[in-house]
Amino acid sequence: MKYSLVSSFVVASLFTAHTAQAETLRLLTWGGYAPEEVIAKFEAETGHTVEVTTSNNEEMIAKLRATNGGGFDLAQPSQDRITSAQEEFGIYKPIDMSRVNADLFIPSMLSATAGNTTFDGDVYGLPHVWGTSGLVVNTAMAGDVQDYTDLCDASVAGKVSYRLKRPTLIGFAYSMGLDPFAAYGDADAYQGILDQVEAKLTECKPNVKTYWGGGDEIKNLLRSGEVVASMAWDTGGWQLNADNPDITFVAPEAGALGWIDTFVLPARGRADDAAYDWINFVMQPEIAAMITNTAGNFTAAVDGDAGVSADLKARYQGSFDQDAIDNIKWYPPVPAGLEALEGATLDRINAAN
């Protein structure tokens, strides 16, 4: 049954490839979300060509802002960063749901992302890859680190690293018993939370070896043993676990922070056909599994976890029991202007001695 569905889809996409014009899809995405083998299959089936640029949330928005939403045909920012960017800069165009094969998406995720990315009545985002950030710990050397604030413990002094970015502020706030997401709508209350977190992070600064910037940097620090506990993404921890069984991802007691990376259409993208073809292509279960195997994170595709390697599943289950999954704090949309407050806080932490 599944086979026939898939094959009919392949036939359908072959058919559209013959009727539609072949285009170049300029994809702005994260490392690992567009593996070579997936691109090759897509190009063979549809006739489109794909150019990949890898980036991160902030740079995606900055790049699209610089061109008023031009230069790329499909981008993949996290769902909480879409409405504010749309409100401030108008860099996206709405998704035409009639061109998306909604059956390929897990319904609850599709509707949740639609809700979070609706601006002025239009939906701007479709869910693709999801994951969490929490703690990556060398359990042999820092087994006591169970929560974000444990990073400030004297037992791990000088061997800790985290990013100087908003997830750190949010994670520490939860760990300190505060609820930053609930205060999103109230700038004064949020500033109050930021002030407490700022004091904590300033006090914690001597414990930190360095603030990491990129995924490879933190993996390197953990692998060499220079850092034994860190805030990082779940995939980073699982990749390190494959090399060194002592290192793994730990879902913090205060809750891992859950993110969903999406598909959005830049306002001045030229290859919408290719963009919708790409979305419908990568959400097929077996393609989604290929992406999960390279990126390390699960997707919003129905049955997308069926073809995922057993190792990755085992690591995922090792880090998340049902309680930890229920305790994941999913990022709600960031209101416009909130990042300016966070930015000032982060600058002050960076300058503190």
Partner 1 sequence: MGSDRSRLGFYLLLAPILLWLVVLIILPHIGLFLVSISEKIGPREYETGFDNYAAFFTEPLYWRTFARTAIMSIMATALTLILGFPIAYYIAKLTRGRTKTTLFLMCMIPFWVSELVRTFGWMILLRETGVISNVLQYLGLVNGPVEMLYNDAAIMVGLVYTSILFMVVPLVTTLDSLDDSLIEAGYDLGGTSTSIMREIVIPHAMPGIVSGCIVVFMLSLGNYLTPILLGGKDSLWFTGMIYTQFITRFNWELGSAFGFLLLALSSLVVFLGLKFSGQSLSETMGRP
Among 32, 71, 90, 143, binds partner 1 (CB under 8 A): 90
Cβ 259 to partner 1 shortest distance, Å: 16
Site residue total, partner 1 (CB under 8 A): 30
Q: Would you give the DSSP letter of residue 250?
A: E
Binding mask 96-135 for partner 1 (x = CB under 8 A): ----------------------------------------
Binding to partner 1 (CB under 8 A) within 200-259 occurs at 205, 208-211, 213, 224-226
Residue 64 or 193 with smaller CB distance to partner 1 = 64
Beta bridge partners of 28: 53, 75
Q: Is residue 231 within 8 Å of 129, Cβ to Cβ?
A: no
Q: Which of 43, 45, 87, 253 binds partner 1 (CB under 8 A)?
A: 87
d(CA 308, CA 203): 42
Least distance CB 119 / partner 1 (angstroms): 11
Find the binding residues for partner 1 in span 253-292 (CB under 8 A): none
* 130: helix, strand or coil: strand
Report the alpha-carbon distance of residue 127 to residue 98 in Å, rounded. 16
Among the listed residues 123, 25, 125, the one whose alpha carbon sits nearest the alpha carbon of residue 74: 25
Residues 6+ apart with CB under 8 A from 78: 57, 259, 260, 261, 262, 331
What distance lies between CA 122 and its chain's CA centroid?
Answer: 22
Q: Which of residues 208 and 301 has its CB atom nearest to partner 1 in the complex?
A: 208
Instruction: Annotate 173-188 with DSSP letters as a single string.
Output: HHHTT--TGGGTT-HH
Q: Which is nearer to partner 1, 192 or 337 (CB)?
A: 337
Site for partner 1 in 21-50 (CB under 8 A): none
Residues 133-192 that bind partner 1 (CB under 8 A): 158, 165
The helix/strand/coil state of 78 is strand
Is the CB of 93 or the CB of 348 nearer to partner 1?
A: 348
Query: Does residue number 339 form part of the binding site for partner 1 (CB under 8 A)?
Result: yes
Q: Give residue 35's identity as a one-letter amino acid code.
A: P
CA distance 327 to 97: 31
CB 41 within 8 A of CB 15: no
One residue of 65, 93, 268, 270 binding partner 1 per CB under 8 A: 65
Residues at the contact surface with partner 1, assessed by CB under 8 A? 58-59, 61-62, 65, 85, 87-90, 158, 165, 205, 208-211, 213, 224-226, 336-337, 339-340, 343, 347-348, 350-351
